[in-house]
Amino acid sequence: MTMATEEKPRVVDRARQTTVGRSIFRSPSRSTPRDRAASHWSSFLLHLYPVKVRRKEITFRYSWYLGVISAVLFASLVASGIYLMFFYVPSPASAYADIQSLQTEVTFGQYIRNVHRWSAHLMVFAVAAHMAKVFYRGAYKPPREFNWVIGVVLLVLTLLMSFTGYLLPWDQLAYWAVTVGSEMAGYVPFVGEQVRELLLGGPTVGEGTLLRFYVLHVAVLPVSIVVLLMFHIWRWRKDAMLDLPKEEPDA
Protein backbone atom coordinates (compact mmCIF):
# COMPACT_ATOMS: atom_id res chain seq x y z
CA MET A 1 0.00 0.00 0.00
CA THR A 2 2.84 2.34 0.87
CA MET A 3 4.74 1.51 -2.32
CA ALA A 4 1.64 2.21 -4.42
CA THR A 5 1.14 5.52 -2.64
CA GLU A 6 4.76 6.50 -3.23
CA GLU A 7 4.69 5.37 -6.85
CA LYS A 8 1.69 7.53 -7.72
CA PRO A 9 3.40 10.88 -6.95
CA ARG A 10 6.45 9.71 -8.91
CA VAL A 11 4.32 8.97 -11.97
CA VAL A 12 2.61 12.36 -11.65
CA ASP A 13 5.95 14.12 -11.26
CA ARG A 14 7.37 12.39 -14.32
CA ALA A 15 4.28 13.35 -16.32
CA ARG A 16 4.64 16.97 -15.25
CA GLN A 17 8.27 17.00 -16.41
CA THR A 18 7.41 16.00 -19.98
CA THR A 19 7.14 18.63 -22.70
CA VAL A 20 3.36 18.51 -22.67
CA GLY A 21 3.25 18.49 -18.87
CA ARG A 22 5.48 21.56 -18.58
CA SER A 23 3.31 23.40 -21.10
CA ILE A 24 0.21 22.70 -19.01
CA PHE A 25 1.60 23.05 -15.48
CA ARG A 26 4.23 25.75 -15.79
CA SER A 27 4.38 26.62 -12.11
CA PRO A 28 3.88 24.58 -8.95
CA SER A 29 1.28 25.54 -6.36
CA ARG A 30 2.43 28.37 -4.11
CA SER A 31 1.39 29.45 -0.65
CA THR A 32 1.45 33.24 -1.02
CA PRO A 33 -1.25 35.13 -2.96
CA ARG A 34 1.36 36.61 -5.31
CA ASP A 35 2.85 33.22 -6.19
CA ARG A 36 -0.57 31.64 -6.57
CA ALA A 37 -1.62 34.40 -8.97
CA ALA A 38 1.57 33.91 -11.01
CA SER A 39 0.97 30.17 -11.17
CA HIS A 40 -2.61 30.84 -12.21
CA TRP A 41 -1.74 33.03 -15.16
CA SER A 42 0.93 30.64 -16.44
CA SER A 43 -1.25 27.51 -16.38
CA PHE A 44 -4.25 27.21 -18.69
CA LEU A 45 -6.04 24.58 -16.60
CA LEU A 46 -5.68 26.55 -13.38
CA HIS A 47 -6.59 29.75 -15.20
CA LEU A 48 -10.12 28.41 -15.65
CA TYR A 49 -10.58 28.75 -11.88
CA PRO A 50 -10.54 32.00 -9.92
CA VAL A 51 -7.30 32.93 -8.16
CA LYS A 52 -9.06 32.19 -4.88
CA VAL A 53 -11.80 29.61 -4.52
CA ARG A 54 -13.33 27.58 -1.73
CA ARG A 55 -11.61 24.23 -1.47
CA LYS A 56 -14.91 22.32 -1.57
CA GLU A 57 -16.04 24.10 -4.75
CA ILE A 58 -13.45 22.31 -6.87
CA THR A 59 -14.56 18.87 -5.71
CA PHE A 60 -16.81 16.66 -7.85
CA ARG A 61 -19.28 16.12 -5.02
CA TYR A 62 -19.95 19.85 -4.76
CA SER A 63 -20.33 20.86 -8.42
CA TRP A 64 -20.72 17.53 -10.29
CA TYR A 65 -18.79 19.40 -13.02
CA LEU A 66 -22.09 20.07 -14.79
CA GLY A 67 -20.80 23.29 -16.33
CA VAL A 68 -17.73 21.53 -17.70
CA ILE A 69 -19.86 18.64 -18.97
CA SER A 70 -22.16 21.11 -20.76
CA ALA A 71 -19.18 22.81 -22.43
CA VAL A 72 -17.70 19.45 -23.51
CA LEU A 73 -21.04 18.37 -24.98
CA PHE A 74 -21.29 21.67 -26.85
CA ALA A 75 -17.81 21.11 -28.29
CA SER A 76 -18.92 17.62 -29.37
CA LEU A 77 -21.97 19.14 -31.07
CA VAL A 78 -19.83 21.64 -32.95
CA ALA A 79 -17.35 19.00 -34.12
CA SER A 80 -19.98 16.46 -35.20
CA GLY A 81 -22.16 19.19 -36.71
CA ILE A 82 -19.34 20.45 -38.93
CA TYR A 83 -18.86 16.90 -40.22
CA LEU A 84 -22.58 16.53 -40.95
CA MET A 85 -22.67 19.85 -42.83
CA PHE A 86 -20.47 18.38 -45.57
CA PHE A 87 -23.24 15.95 -46.54
CA TYR A 88 -26.39 18.05 -46.08
CA VAL A 89 -28.14 20.61 -48.29
CA PRO A 90 -30.96 22.65 -46.63
CA SER A 91 -33.47 22.14 -49.43
CA PRO A 92 -36.85 20.37 -49.22
CA ALA A 93 -35.98 18.49 -52.41
CA SER A 94 -32.83 16.90 -51.00
CA ALA A 95 -32.79 17.23 -47.19
CA TYR A 96 -34.50 13.90 -46.44
CA ALA A 97 -32.47 12.06 -49.08
CA ASP A 98 -29.26 13.55 -47.68
CA ILE A 99 -30.06 12.19 -44.23
CA GLN A 100 -30.77 8.74 -45.63
CA SER A 101 -27.56 8.81 -47.65
CA LEU A 102 -25.64 9.99 -44.60
CA GLN A 103 -26.84 7.00 -42.60
CA THR A 104 -26.26 4.35 -45.26
CA GLU A 105 -23.45 5.53 -47.55
CA VAL A 106 -21.21 8.00 -45.70
CA THR A 107 -18.34 6.56 -43.67
CA PHE A 108 -19.22 6.79 -39.96
CA GLY A 109 -22.28 8.84 -40.97
CA GLN A 110 -24.75 6.96 -38.77
CA TYR A 111 -22.31 7.02 -35.85
CA ILE A 112 -21.58 10.75 -36.13
CA ARG A 113 -25.27 11.57 -36.44
CA ASN A 114 -26.05 9.55 -33.31
CA VAL A 115 -23.22 11.30 -31.45
CA HIS A 116 -24.68 14.64 -32.53
CA ARG A 117 -28.22 13.71 -31.53
CA TRP A 118 -27.35 12.25 -28.13
CA SER A 119 -24.97 15.09 -27.35
CA ALA A 120 -27.85 17.49 -28.00
CA HIS A 121 -30.17 15.59 -25.65
CA LEU A 122 -27.51 15.31 -22.95
CA MET A 123 -26.58 18.98 -23.24
CA VAL A 124 -30.16 20.05 -22.59
CA PHE A 125 -30.22 17.81 -19.52
CA ALA A 126 -26.78 18.96 -18.31
CA VAL A 127 -27.55 22.68 -18.69
CA ALA A 128 -30.93 22.28 -16.95
CA ALA A 129 -29.30 20.28 -14.13
CA HIS A 130 -26.57 22.90 -13.84
CA MET A 131 -29.17 25.66 -13.49
CA ALA A 132 -31.09 23.61 -10.91
CA LYS A 133 -27.89 23.03 -8.92
CA VAL A 134 -27.03 26.75 -9.01
CA PHE A 135 -30.56 27.63 -7.86
CA TYR A 136 -30.53 25.02 -5.08
CA ARG A 137 -27.23 26.30 -3.71
CA GLY A 138 -28.34 29.93 -3.93
CA ALA A 139 -25.48 30.86 -6.27
CA TYR A 140 -27.84 33.16 -8.19
CA LYS A 141 -27.90 35.67 -5.33
CA PRO A 142 -25.84 38.90 -5.30
CA PRO A 143 -23.22 39.47 -6.56
CA ARG A 144 -23.95 36.74 -9.12
CA GLU A 145 -27.44 37.76 -10.24
CA PHE A 146 -26.29 39.05 -13.64
CA ASN A 147 -24.40 35.84 -14.38
CA TRP A 148 -27.55 33.92 -13.44
CA VAL A 149 -29.42 35.86 -16.14
CA ILE A 150 -26.69 34.94 -18.64
CA GLY A 151 -27.12 31.31 -17.62
CA VAL A 152 -30.87 31.49 -18.21
CA VAL A 153 -30.24 32.96 -21.67
CA LEU A 154 -27.79 30.13 -22.40
CA LEU A 155 -30.45 27.60 -21.38
CA VAL A 156 -32.96 29.21 -23.76
CA LEU A 157 -30.41 29.20 -26.58
CA THR A 158 -29.69 25.53 -25.89
CA LEU A 159 -33.39 24.71 -26.20
CA LEU A 160 -33.60 26.73 -29.42
CA MET A 161 -30.62 24.81 -30.79
CA SER A 162 -32.49 21.55 -30.24
CA PHE A 163 -35.71 22.97 -31.68
CA THR A 164 -34.11 24.31 -34.86
CA GLY A 165 -32.14 21.11 -35.39
CA TYR A 166 -35.31 19.04 -35.09
CA LEU A 167 -36.57 20.20 -38.49
CA LEU A 168 -33.42 19.49 -40.49
CA PRO A 169 -34.12 15.76 -41.19
CA TRP A 170 -37.27 16.97 -43.00
CA ASP A 171 -39.38 13.93 -42.17
CA GLN A 172 -42.99 13.76 -41.01
CA LEU A 173 -42.08 13.84 -37.32
CA ALA A 174 -39.94 16.96 -37.79
CA TYR A 175 -42.52 18.68 -40.00
CA TRP A 176 -45.42 18.30 -37.61
CA ALA A 177 -43.35 18.98 -34.50
CA VAL A 178 -42.27 22.35 -35.91
CA THR A 179 -45.82 23.03 -37.07
CA VAL A 180 -47.13 22.51 -33.54
CA GLY A 181 -44.26 24.52 -32.03
CA SER A 182 -44.82 27.46 -34.36
CA GLU A 183 -48.55 27.42 -33.61
CA MET A 184 -47.73 27.62 -29.91
CA ALA A 185 -45.41 30.58 -30.60
CA GLY A 186 -48.33 32.28 -32.32
CA TYR A 187 -50.17 32.51 -29.00
CA VAL A 188 -47.52 34.76 -27.43
CA PRO A 189 -49.33 37.99 -26.42
CA PHE A 190 -48.96 41.02 -28.73
CA VAL A 191 -46.11 39.63 -30.87
CA GLY A 192 -47.26 36.05 -31.42
CA GLU A 193 -48.05 36.31 -35.13
CA GLN A 194 -44.86 38.22 -35.84
CA VAL A 195 -42.79 35.57 -34.05
CA ARG A 196 -44.57 32.81 -35.95
CA GLU A 197 -43.97 34.45 -39.33
CA LEU A 198 -40.35 35.12 -38.39
CA LEU A 199 -39.84 31.44 -37.62
CA LEU A 200 -41.68 30.02 -40.62
CA GLY A 201 -40.82 32.58 -43.28
CA GLY A 202 -44.36 32.17 -44.59
CA PRO A 203 -47.84 30.97 -43.63
CA THR A 204 -46.80 27.31 -43.28
CA VAL A 205 -43.70 25.19 -42.82
CA GLY A 206 -41.85 25.18 -46.14
CA GLU A 207 -38.60 25.93 -47.93
CA GLY A 208 -38.17 29.27 -46.18
CA THR A 209 -38.64 27.61 -42.80
CA LEU A 210 -35.99 24.99 -43.48
CA LEU A 211 -33.48 27.60 -44.63
CA ARG A 212 -34.13 29.85 -41.62
CA PHE A 213 -33.84 26.98 -39.17
CA TYR A 214 -30.61 25.84 -40.83
CA VAL A 215 -29.02 29.30 -40.59
CA LEU A 216 -30.11 29.64 -36.97
CA HIS A 217 -28.87 26.15 -36.12
CA VAL A 218 -25.42 26.29 -37.72
CA ALA A 219 -24.52 29.99 -37.41
CA VAL A 220 -26.59 32.37 -35.30
CA LEU A 221 -27.25 30.23 -32.23
CA PRO A 222 -23.79 28.56 -31.96
CA VAL A 223 -21.98 31.90 -32.26
CA SER A 224 -24.31 33.43 -29.66
CA ILE A 225 -23.67 30.52 -27.30
CA VAL A 226 -19.88 30.80 -27.71
CA VAL A 227 -19.90 34.54 -26.99
CA LEU A 228 -22.18 34.24 -23.96
CA LEU A 229 -20.34 31.17 -22.68
CA MET A 230 -17.02 33.02 -22.75
CA PHE A 231 -18.58 35.94 -20.88
CA HIS A 232 -20.30 33.53 -18.47
CA ILE A 233 -16.99 31.84 -17.54
CA TRP A 234 -15.18 35.18 -17.23
CA ARG A 235 -17.96 36.57 -15.03
CA TRP A 236 -17.92 33.42 -12.88
CA ARG A 237 -14.19 33.83 -12.27
CA LYS A 238 -14.70 37.46 -11.23
CA ASP A 239 -17.71 36.81 -9.01
CA ALA A 240 -16.22 33.78 -7.25
CA MET A 241 -13.87 35.92 -5.14
CA LEU A 242 -16.40 38.47 -3.93
CA ASP A 243 -17.98 36.52 -1.07
CA LEU A 244 -15.21 34.23 0.19
CA PRO A 245 -15.41 34.01 4.00
CA LYS A 246 -12.09 34.65 5.69
CA GLU A 247 -12.46 31.75 8.06
CA GLU A 248 -12.78 29.17 5.28
CA PRO A 249 -9.50 27.96 3.74
CA ASP A 250 -8.79 28.72 0.09
CA ALA A 251 -7.47 26.34 -2.51
Question: How sure is the predictor about 28, in pLDDT bands with cuts at 50, 70 and 90?
Answer: low
> What are 250's strand-pairing partners?
54
Residue 83 identity (one-letter amino acid): Y
Query: With 80 as the cut, is the pLDDT of residue 218 above it?
Result: yes
Q: pTM here?
A: 0.77
Q: Say what the pLDDT of residue 238 is.
A: 79
pLDDT tens string 33-83: 666 666 655 565 566 666 666 776 667 777 788 999 999 999 999 999 999
Q: Is the pLDDT of residue 1 over 60?
A: no
pLDDT of residue 246: 46
HEC sequence for the chain: CHHHHHHHHHHHHHHHCCHHHHHHCCCCCCCCHHHHHHHHHHCHHHHCCCCCCEHHHHCHHHHCCHHHHHHHHHHHHHHHHHHHHCCCCCCCCCHHHHHHHHHHCCCCHHHHHHHHHHHHHHHHHHHHHHHHHHHHCCCCCCCCHHHHHHHHHHHHHHHHHHHHHHHCCCCHHHHHHHHHHHHHHCCCCCCHHHHHHHHHCCCCCCHHHHHHHHHHHHHHHHHHHHHHHHHHHHHHHHHCCCCCCCCCCEC
Domains in the chain (CATH in brackets) are 11-47 (no CATH), 52-239 (1.20.810.10)
Phi and psi at 188, nearest 5°, equal -65, 130
Q: Does residue 182 have a pLDDT over 50?
A: yes
The 10 Å Cβ neighbour count of residue 91 is: 15
Q: Which of the pair, 246 or 192, is modelled with greater confidence?
A: 192
Q: What is the pLDDT of residue 37?
A: 62
For residues 8 and 135, which has the higher predicted lDDT (pLDDT)? 135
